[in-house]
Amino acid sequence: MPDFDDDEYESFDLEDSGDDSDPDSDAEVDAVDLDGTEDDDLDDAAPDEIDFVLAAYREDGQPMVQALATDLANDLDELIVQLRRLPGDAGAVGFVSLVEEVFVIARVRGQHVQLLLSDGGAATEWPIARDVADMLGEEIPDPDDEEAEPMGDLGILADLGVSDFDMGAIIDNLDLSSDQMLIEIADKIKIGPQFRKVAESAFPA
C-alpha cells in the first residue's frame, strides 16, 4: 500500500462517520448476518474453483498480505468477521477470486463495510456473490443477462490509488482473468510483490 503520512492514511479508516457518507450510495453498508439468505440453492465453490482468498492490511505502518481459509470464499459474512479480527491499523481489505472469472473485494473497518463484485451476474452462480447482492440490497440479475455490470463501490480503493475509472477499466479488460485483475489492483496499491508471493505459495495453481 502507498506510504501515507498519518493525515493521508485517515482515508483508509472505514468507520462510519455519519454525515460523511453518501446517503444515496448503497455500496457502503453495515455488516449484517447473512445466514438464511437465498444462496441455499447455490453450490459452494470447490477448492479447485477458488483461485485465492487473501487479506491486506497495515500493521505498525507496514503493509501486510495474508492468506485466508478457502471456505471464506463461500461465506461473505464470515469473511467480514475474519477481516475484522486482523490487527490492521486502519481496517483490512479482503480479495477473493473464483474460477478466474469473478472477484469480490471486501473492505472492513469495525462495523463499516464496503463491497465490490466484479460481475453482478455471478450472484446467480456463487454463494459469496449472492451474499454481496443481498448485503447491498441489489436485485439479483437475470441469469440470461449477458451484460451484467459490476455491483458495489468501484471507488472502494480510490484513496489507495485505484480510482473508480481505473477499477472499471480493469474489470472491463477481457484479456485479464479475475485473479490477474486483482494482481493488477494489488500493483496499483503497491502491495504487488507481497500479494503475488502469498497467492502463489498458499494457493498454487
User: Does residue 1 surpass a pLDDT of 70?
Assistant: no
Question: What grid cell was written down for 108?
Answer: 472492513
Distance CA 16, CA 11 (A): 12
Q: How confident is the model at residue 137 (pLDDT cuts 50, 70, 90)?
A: very high
Let me know if 90 is exposed, middle or buried by CB neighbors in 10 A (0-12, 13-18, 19+). middle
* 8: number of Cβ within 10 Å: 11
pLDDT of residue 28: 52
Question: Which phi and psi angles does 71 have, rounded to 5°?
Answer: -65, -15
User: Does residue 52 surpass a pLDDT of 50?
Assistant: yes
- For 45-171, strand residue ranges (E) read 50-59, 62-67, 92-98, 102-109, 112-117, 151-152
Give the model confidence (pLDDT) of 152-170 as tens digits. 999 999 999 999 999 999 9
Residue 107 near residue 157 (C-beta atoms within 8 A)? yes
Q: How many CA atoms lie within 13 A of 35 on its CB side?
A: 2
> Which pTM was predicted?
0.81
Question: What grid cell was written down for 50?
Answer: 477458488
Residue 56 near residue 64 (C-beta atoms within 8 A)? yes
